[in-house]
Amino acid sequence: MNLLPWILAACALLAPKADTTVIARAIDEAVRGEAPLFQGDEDRLKTAALVVAVAARESNLKLDAVGDHGRSVCAMQIHGGDKKLLEDHVGCIREGIRRLRISVSTCKDYPVAVYAEGPSGCTSSRAQAISRDRMALARRLVADVKPR
């Protein structure tokens, strides 16, 4: 499956007034180069959906986003991330996937909780809510987005 048209459509749905071509291409390249985040996701659609959902909620799909008083960088809002990720778009997404992989494997009930809040995320009600939101958005994207 060629994910790029789907990723472009998902990004356009979530940020309709923005040009999301560059981030969509970065997501596509990173997702194709990494193992899927979920079992049974050989086409990587669920992985791409979660990456798009996280980037949308964390940065509104802005590659140059800086948050948490300068401590989080790039579209994936990598906490403690190298400022070089602001210019290395594929590297930003790959680091996000790496951290999501740790989160998904660490906290089965709330797959994005550790990503959101570190090691204590599994037991944090705030991180659990963030995880529920990101996962629900990813499921919605998988169900509703149809590439043109």
Asked if residues 44 and 52 have their Cβ atoms less than 8 Å apart, the reply is no
* Alpha-carbon span 4 to 117, nearest angstrom: 30
pLDDT beneath 50: ranges in the chain: none
Counting Cβ atoms within 10 Å, is residue 143 exposed (0-12), middle (13-18) or buried (19+)?
A: exposed
| Element holding 86 (H helix, E strand) | none
Write down the pLDDT at residue 105: 96
In the chain, what percentage of residues exceed pLDDT 70?
A: 99
DSSP H helices in 1-148 = 4-14, 21-33, 45-59, 89-106, 113-117, 125-144
Which CATH number applies to 4-144? 1.10.530
Q: What pLDDT was estimated at residue 113?
A: 98
Give the pLDDT score at 94: 98
What is the pTM assigned to this prediction? 0.96
pLDDT value of residue 18: 95
